[in-house]
Amino acid sequence: MQTNAAMKKVTFIILIFFVISCQTQRDQKFNLGFERQSDTTALPDGWMKWGDYVITLDSLVHSGQKSGKISSTGKGQFGCIAYQIPAEFTGKTIELKGYIKTQDVKDGFAGLLLRIDGENGSLAFDNMQEQNISGTKDWQRYSIKLEYPEQAETIYIAGMLTGNGEAWFDDFVLSIDGKDVQTIRKKKPPLPAASLDTDFDNGSGIDTINLFPERIDNLELLGKVWGFLKYYHPEIAKGNYNWDYELFRFIPDYLNDSDESGKEELLLKWIETLGNIDECQTNKTTPEDVFLKPDLTWIANSILSEPLRNKLNHIYNNRNQGNHFYVKLDPGIGNPKFENENAYGNMPYPDAGFRLLALYRYWNIINYFFPNKYLTDKDWNTTLKEYIPIFINAKDELEYEQTAIRIIGETQDTHANLWGGNNKIEEWKGTYYAPVNVRFIENQLVVTDYYNPELKNDTGLNIGDIVTAIDGKKINKIVSDISIYYPASNEAARLRDIAADILRSQKDEIEVEYSQNGICKTKKIRLYPGNELNIYRWFRKNDDKCYRLLDNNIGYITLMSIKDSDIPVIKKEFINTRGIIIDIRNYPSAFVPFTLGSFFSTSSAPFVKFTHGNINNPGEFAFTDELVIPGTNNPYKGKLIVLVNEFTQSQAEYTAMAFRAGDNTTIVGSTTAGADGNVSEIMLPGGLKTMISGLGVYYPNGEQTQRIGIVPDIEVRPTIDGIRKGKDELLEKAIEIILKM
């Protein structure tokens, strides 16, 4: 099978082909059976080729006279025969069915592919990789079913092949809520005016902005007013204005006005062009008992003009209620979903106007919808002014990406990083990797594992060796210099992520200074392309059985490979053990807080509550009711030990909270990543993608988890001596606690 790195590359290439291969489908009926072919030298009508495999028609069919065939070339990466359909339907689910026949497929897979695109890229995607259709199989019908996004604009269906071999595809059927799209043509409502405004699709027209102190102050005020209007003004909330492009229309006059005192008058006139706002009869008073209230003190503190202050206060008091074009809360969960935010992926290094837009968009999203804004070390109100010159003066694509990741880091949220569009940062970090895994242990960078054991002798490094310098630069200096590019809730998570990258380079060789058995040595180490190593970032995942019985009748469970079907077996086999150890120094492969957590509770026990925002009053956050772990009539009577460390993040932290609510639980380990809660995705100009923790997560007593993480009852950290001796000191401590009972 292909490596994960290789498959990611294939997926990336597929996305490119989605963009450059767009064709207009004019037929009312869709040619999903490959039968219509107007040009005998081309593919069937409406079908197109992606990838570098051979795509042909074939007479080997499931029905009819033609099928689509993909043949590997022995040197390419993938092939797709694909079809585009306008997303002119409404519904909740979308399903693709089709027949596949394979011949000698190996080192890859065949499958159907279904992708739904919106304005900003992919909204839903599946290519059946996990089903691993390979070998030689006669015609069989397969299916993919996904939720159908409301924002869908384009549907792509395809047959796909990776690796070697041949695959045939026939009789595709696409349905919405079980109804064949060939029989339904229900159109969506007309697009709002904001979606039809394309004036600045290829640039803002603002290439440079000359900065001086007064102008930076003015741009700070503009960014705050722009964001305030975006989230509170009813006409913008309805989608009647493309608020990105209205900024570009306004900025030139705002910058060219030489009368500094006239800036506020320009802002007032701009707001008045949006139309009058009717007095709202709804009571919009912020309840006194909410956890956080909107911070609008800047209106009173920084705006001198009484008419402008009155106008903004009037908008707030009669603000939008209900649906919002740019944001909604995820139903049943409550984290924000930021919609209709164009990523402008066609401009990887955006012009000055778009760079300023990126800052305004991000700053205001955090200001109004980040539940943990109040937990940052720096007052968020100061960051907008600070970053205006940094964004404006970013001289190239790399510097722009670095600037974005720096302000992302100001949120101090381990969920927040650049998760897409960061190709220049990845190049800057290096495309070559050392064949060893390292971690910061006892404040030293320590070799802990080999990605490929067969390369051990080539490295000359032993487990437990301490790396002290790279290419002549001391480790502590490297960490100090690059820390601003590693967003994290706490230092443990930051060092975890730095360790994963610190031995990367743009060269295929580095020189390391290291201490081996107390002797200082220097050695040049060969580095390898990532796809030539079995790299893991946090922990090495395996598909072994997730549970086993240790000596002294102690049960051990690792959540990294647990399945829902394992839980009844675990309960049955471990009910009479002396104690159970649950290892969450990983990310759970199944959601088990309730199904497994109840095994350790005699009666119902609250374990968590959340804060979430309010679309009707952006900036307000209120607590939800507590969630409860249900009790069981046959609970586990022994001791439960839960192992955590800096690799315990998000769902893993939430799961640890659920286990902590049990009758007899002890948490053992060290600081977790401090980033819990469902994530919310944010798109920024330049095709950048980031995220935030979209919910505030607290214990029932109101104690926070963000940044702090899951505080262990007994702190145990690995030692360098333990690493050298091959010990798992946290596991040993857990066993010791159980045996002392």
Quote the pLDDT of residue 506. Answer: 96
34 belongs to a structural domain: yes
**Is 205 a domain residue?**
no
CA 654 distance to own-chain centroid: 17
Same domain for 61 and 93, yes or no, is yes
Query: Cα separation of 435 and 430, whole Å?
Result: 14
Task: Tell me the C-alpha to C-alpha distance, in Å, between residue 274 and each of 141, 159, 197, 208, 250.
Answer: 54, 48, 16, 28, 13
Distance CA 597, CA 593 (A): 5
Same domain assignment for residues 397 and 447? no
Q: pLDDT band for position 551 (50/70/90)?
A: very high
Residue 281 pLDDT grade (very low, low, confident, very high; cuts 50, 70, 90):
low
Same domain, 576 and 609: yes
Shared-domain flag, residues 553 and 632? yes
Q: Using the predicted structure, report yes or no on whether residue 642 has a pLDDT greater than 90.
A: yes
Res 739 pLDDT > 90: yes
623 vs 328, 336, 476, 628, CA distance in Å? Answer: 18, 15, 41, 15
Q: What is the CATH number of the domain that holds 636?
A: 3.90.226.10
On whether both 367 and 435 belong to a single domain, the answer is no
Q: What is the mean pLDDT of residues 711-740?
A: 97
Instruction: Look over the chain and give the mean of its residue pLDDT values, rounded to a whole number.
Output: 91
Specify the amino acid at residue 377.
Answer: D
Q: What is the pLDDT of residues 560-611, one digit of tens each?
A: 999 999 999 999 999 999 999 999 999 999 999 999 999 999 999 999 999 9
User: What are the contacts of 521-525 at 24+ separation with CB within 8 A?
Assistant: 523/460, 523/461, 525/434, 525/459, 525/460, 525/461
Q: Is 203 inside any structural domain?
A: no
For residues 526 and 562, state if they share a domain.
Answer: no
Where b means 16+ CB within 10 Å and e means fewer, 357-370 reads bbbbbbbbbbbbbb
pLDDT, tens digit, 9 for 90 and up, residues 20-34: 333 333 334 799 999
Single residue among 129, 157, 180 that ends a domain in this structure: 180
580 belongs to a structural domain: yes
Position 593, amino acid: P
Q: Which sign, positive or negative, has the C-alpha torsion 75, 78, 82, 87?
A: negative
Going by pLDDT thresholds of 50, 70 and 90, the confidence category of residue 283 is low
What digits encode the pLDDT tens for the residues 148-200?
A: 998 888 899 999 999 899 999 999 999 999 999 988 866 666 789 999 999 99
CA pair distance 220, 198, nearest whole angstrom: 26
pLDDT at 660: 97
Confidence at residue 317, expressed as pLDDT on a 0 to 100 scale? 95
CB 660 within 8 A of CB 667: yes
- Examine the pLDDT at 536 and tell me if it is beyond 60: yes
Q: For residues 261 and 325, which has the higher predicted lDDT (pLDDT)?
A: 325
486 and 587 fall within a common domain: no
* CA 373, 378, 384, 390 torsion-angle sign: negative
End of a domain among 379, 412, 445?
412
- Determine the residue type at 370: F
User: Cα–chain-centroid distance for residue 321?
Assistant: 29
Q: Let me know whether 487 and 573 are in one domain.
A: no
pLDDT in the model for residue 411: 98
**Residues 576 and 690 occupy one common structural domain:** yes
Please say if the pLDDT value at position 39 is more than 90. no
Residues 484, 596, single domain; the answer is no
| CA proximity to 297, closest of 413, 233, 381, 239 | 381
pLDDT score recorded for residue 222: 97
- Domain boundary (138, 156, 180) is at 180
Q: What is the pLDDT of residue 187?
A: 62
- Residue found by looking up tokens 């201490």 in the block: 515
Query: Residue 188: its pLDDT value, please?
Result: 61
Which is more confidently placed, 539 or 21?
539
> Cα Rg for the chain, rounded, in angstroms?
28
Q: What is the pLDDT of residues 299-319, one digit of tens each?
A: 999 898 999 999 999 999 999
Across 116-120, 570-574, 618-622, 702-706, least confident range: 116-120
Number of domains observed in the structure of the chain: 4
Residue 200 inside a domain? The answer is: no
Is residue 528 a part of any domain in this protein?
Answer: yes
234/311 same-domain check: yes
* CATH classification of the domain holding 59: 2.60.120.260
For residues 166 and 79, give the distance between their C-alpha atoms in angstroms, rounded to a whole number. 10
Residue 489 in this model has a pLDDT that exceeds 80: yes
> Is 204 part of any domain?
no
Same structural domain for residues 356 and 496? no
Domain membership of residue 537 (yes or no) is no
Q: What is the pLDDT of residue 7?
A: 44
170-179, 271-280, 354-363: which range is least confident on average? 271-280
Nearest to 115 by CA among 158, 150, 172: 158
pTM: 0.77
- Supply the range of the domain harboring residue 33: 4-180
How many percent of the chain have pLDDT more than 90? 81
**pLDDT band, residue 3 (cuts 50/70/90):** very low
